[in-house]
A and B are shown apart, each in its own frame.
Chain A
Amino acid sequence: MKRILKNKQAVAGIIIILFVSLTAIFANQLVPNNPYRQNIFNRYESPQGIGGEYILGTDNLGRCVFSRIIMGTRASLYVGLVAVSISFAIGVFLGLMAGYIGGRIDEVIMRFMDLILAFPAILLAIFIVAVLGPSLFNAMLAIAIVRIPQLARVTRSQVLALKEEDFVMAARALGAGHLRIIFRHILVNSFAPLLVIISLGMGLAIVTEAALSFLGLGTQPPDISWGRMLSVARDAIRTAPHVATYTGIAIVITTLGFNLLGDGLRDVFDPRLK
């Protein structure tokens, strides 16, 4: 933990993530205007700066862009958390099975993972959403599915390496059951590389959700999502460039936080790669 706090990148990442998370938690208290309230007479208002009624201006329906960006943190973090949790649960489970049991099961699981990896991620996500129908849940599911192989592979390689370690042998000699060995000895020691993937995965999930929503395949109106805001903003790049600019900056800051943390953690856990 101390080593993490000494890494500047990781600390910068943690600060950004805390900032974004707090924004999401206190979004209701922070918004200066109701982010859903439309005002047709105030369409495409320019940014008025701090102190003005609409700090970052208004969008195509006269809604406060600043308030909508604040509300949007919720959707992004929610999608990231849910998608990463699903892919983590399934990916780690499959990786453990493949690595620990080995043999046929290993072969089947890993070939299946290769199959998912045979598709470029964003394309597979689009295909899944196209089949299941556009919705926030299906988008999260699609994002989760395309991330499973990486988690499974890393978990598997960790299991394979740790399985032969002396402390696992010792645990087995002491009569520990398979579950105990898996959870108390192998999984705990695989934590570091998995944490790196989770952090980078959050960033990827947020960008992918934005892309899917931008294409109209993710979050559906009236729910607020940065990707959707950008897709509306695309039609108004002349009249209201501020909408696209600031919404995108919010995405970049959030993703940057998770990427900084992920990179930092990797340097801490595996200094050779620096």
Chain B
Amino acid sequence: MQKFIIRRLLSIIPTILGVSLVVFFMIHLAPGDPVTLMVGDDATPADIARIQAIYGFDQPLHIQYLRWFGNAIQGDFGVSIRQSRPVMSLIWERAGATVELAFMGMFIALLISIPLGVLSAIRRGSWIDMGAMTLALIGISMPRFWVGLMLLIYVGLNFDFFPLFGREGSLFGGIITFFTTLNPHEFITGFRYLLLPAFALGTAATALQTRLMRSSMLEVLQQDYVRTAKSKGLSDRVVTFKHAFRNALLPVVTIVGLQFGYLLAGAVVVETVFSWPGVARLIINAVSQRDFPIVQAGTLLVAISFALINLIVDISYGFLNPKIRYD
């Protein structure tokens, strides 16, 4: 197990290197002069000087890359072209909002999909099953940002409880405040702002996980040990939850990690709909302002988090399923 963890940890290094190469060299594949590409035709000499300071375009390519990557692994992604502030601190300020959104999206998805998937599997062929599967199929077909727009129009505009745009306070911060001072105010405010965007973000994950939970549960219910448990005279409830459910949960856990990565990325569009002040919106605004240091750093960091999440899932899988041996 230890060997596996170390090997898996090391395997992330080529991924990070590869991802950084793509993010760096892609800019050079673009047509035209990279400096003009980044700052536009209306650049002032100061802008150009700043770009030169970050990238050193006068140097050979591999030196440029090593310089950029060397700084990047120390957390220095240079200075934003439009906002004149270090890119890293701009991203860091907004990271909490995006992570919170993705977490809440996943939480909602699990809250709905696990019971619904189990129920569909137990009552296979019933109207609950058919309804859930139809909903899941529609859920997969809906663009997340449109779900967001619909929630804004038909829920947000009708219920004052839900603010329409933006973010105030933090849900996680609110939870901590609540436990330390018993003041629920920040928690409730954070929750009100978070709920609709998180729900929109989580739709596709909810749909996918419901289907997965159902098929996994169906498969487990056909296993010999479930039949044995039943023939021992154990009640349906015990068999379903103690024997089948726990084993059926495994594939869902695997996909949760992967899905969490997609939620981080999917936040790009959802944050735009709700004016949610997260990393994704920072990236999108940077794209339209041609603020490339932010685009590069943001893309790289999301890809690295994506890799890290998969790493954590792989390792936790070993703990969850003792049948898996790594050697």
Interface residue? B29 (CB, 8 A): yes
Give the A-B contact count at a CB cut-off of 8 A: 128
Q: A120 near B: Cβ within 8 Å?
A: yes
A238/B303 in contact, CB under 8 A: no
CB pairs A–B below 8 angstroms (20 shown):
A115-B15, A115-B18, A119-B303, A123-B268, A124-B299, A126-B283, A126-B284, A126-B299, A131-B37, A210-B143, A211-B143, A211-B145, A214-B145, A215-B268, A217-B287, A233-B149, A237-B153, A244-B153, A255-B141, A256-B138
Could you say which residues of chain A place their CB within 8 Å of the CB of B272?
214-215
User: Are A123 and B265 touching (Cβ within 8 A)?
Assistant: yes
Using a Cβ–Cβ cut-off of 8 Å, how many residues does chain B contribute to the interface with A?
A: 47
Please pick, from A111, A122, A133, A241, the residue contacting B265 in the complex, using a CB distance under 8 A.
A122
Contact indicator B302/A123 (Cβ below 8 Å): yes
B146 contacts A230, C-beta separation under 8 Å: yes
Main secondary structure of the interface of B (DSSP, over half): helix
The reply to whether the CB of A109 lies closer than 8 angstroms to some CB of chain B is no
A237: chain B residues within 8 A (beta carbon): 149, 152-153, 157
Chain A 116-144 interface mask (CB, 8 Å, partner B; 1/0): 00111111101111111100000000000
Answer whether residue A150 sits at the interface, using C-beta atoms and an 8 A cutoff.
Answer: no
| Closest chain A CB from B146 CB (angstroms) | 4
Contact of B182 with A by CB under 8 A: no
- Is A89 located at the chain interface by the 8 A CB criterion? no
State whether B27 touches A126 (Cβ < 8 A). no
Q: Does A252 contact B (CB under 8 A)?
A: yes
**B170 → chain A closest CB, angstroms:** 24
From A203, which residue of chain B is reached at the shortest CB distance?
A: B141
Contact flag A118-B143 (CB < 8 Å), given A126-B283, A130-B295, A256-B137: no
B37 partner residues in chain A, CB cutoff 8 A: 131
Q: Does B231 contact A (CB under 8 A)?
A: no
Q: A128 near B137 (CB under 8 angstroms)?
A: no
Kindly identify which residue among A119, A126, A132, A210 contacts B30, using a CB–CB cutoff of 8 Å.
A132
Check A214 against B269 for contact (C-beta < 8 Å): yes
Docked Cα-Cα span, A118 to B301, in Å, equals 12
Bound together, the chains give a CA A126 to CA B280 distance in angstroms of 11
Within 8 A of A (CB), among B239-295: 261-262, 264-266, 268-269, 272-273, 283-284, 287-288, 292, 295
Query: CA of A224 to CA of B306 in the docked complex: distance in angstroms?
Result: 34
In angstroms, Cα B306 to Cα A248, docked, is: 29
**CB closest chain-B residue, reference A120:** B265
A134 to chain B, nearest CB (A): 8
Q: Does B22 contact A (CB under 8 A)?
A: yes
Tell whether, in the assembled complex, residue B26 and residue A128 are in contact, meaning their CB atoms are under 8 Å apart.
Answer: yes
Task: Judge whether A263 is part of the interface by a CB distance below 8 angstroms.
Answer: yes
Within 8 A of B (CB), among A180-223: 203, 207, 210-211, 214-217
